[in-house]
């Protein structure tokens, strides 16, 4: 399943018309200890660039931007009791929400892993 990245440090795994979205290891490292995640409700419509999710940490509250447009199909319920999963497993078990993509063409503007790693190396 292909994984794409944004310049705002979100990732999206795409499987058919479903995208699973989270923040990168780099992003969680910048935020520090995650204390709460405000997840979007299933059925919510999101547009590329919207901020349907907020991650609160000991340092700050940070918006999580959707890398694609679509409809939220699911949020990671495990984060309600264990928001620290975003710190300990940001790119797997700490995923945030899933969307049903409305325009797969939007993926074309995102980075692959090599491009993202090069981008982070320049920061």
Q: DSSP code of 87?
A: H
Domains parsed from the chain with CATH numbers? 3-121 (2.40.50.100)
pLDDT score for 27: 96
Q: Which residues pair with 10 in a beta bridge?
A: 23
Dump pLDDT digits (tens) for 45-81. Answer: 999 999 999 999 999 999 999 999 999 999 999 999 9
pLDDT score for 57: 95
* Residue 28 neighbours by CB under 8 Å, 6+ apart: 34, 86, 87, 90, 94
User: Rounded to two decimals, what is the model's pTM?
Assistant: 0.96
**Cα distance between residue 110 and residue 115, in whole Å:** 9
pLDDT score for 38: 97
Average pLDDT over residues 84-109: 97
**Cα distance between residue 123 and residue 93, in whole Å:** 26
Dump pLDDT digits (tens) for 1-43. Answer: 799 999 999 999 999 999 999 999 999 999 999 999 999 999 9
Closest CA to 90 of 42, 45, 36, 29: 29
Q: DSSP code of 111?
A: B
Does the pLDDT of residue 87 top 90, yes or no?
yes
Average pLDDT over residues 109-115: 97
């Amino acid at each position: 399943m292909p994984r794409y990245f944004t310049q705002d440090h979100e990732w999206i795994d795409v499987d058919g018309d479903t995208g699973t979205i989270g923040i990168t290891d780099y992003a969680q490292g910048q935020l520090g200890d995650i204390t709460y995640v405000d997840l979007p409700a299933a059925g919510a419509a999101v547009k590329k660039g919207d901020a349907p999710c907020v991650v609160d940490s000991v340092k700050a509250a940070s918006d999580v931007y959707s890398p694609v447009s679509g409809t939220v199909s699911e949020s990671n319920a495990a984060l309600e009791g264990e928001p620290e999963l975003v710190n300990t497993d940001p790119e797997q078990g700490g995923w945030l929400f899933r969307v049903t993509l409305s325009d797969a063409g939007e993926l074309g503007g995102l980075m692959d892993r090599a491009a993202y790693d090069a981008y982070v190396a320049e920061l």
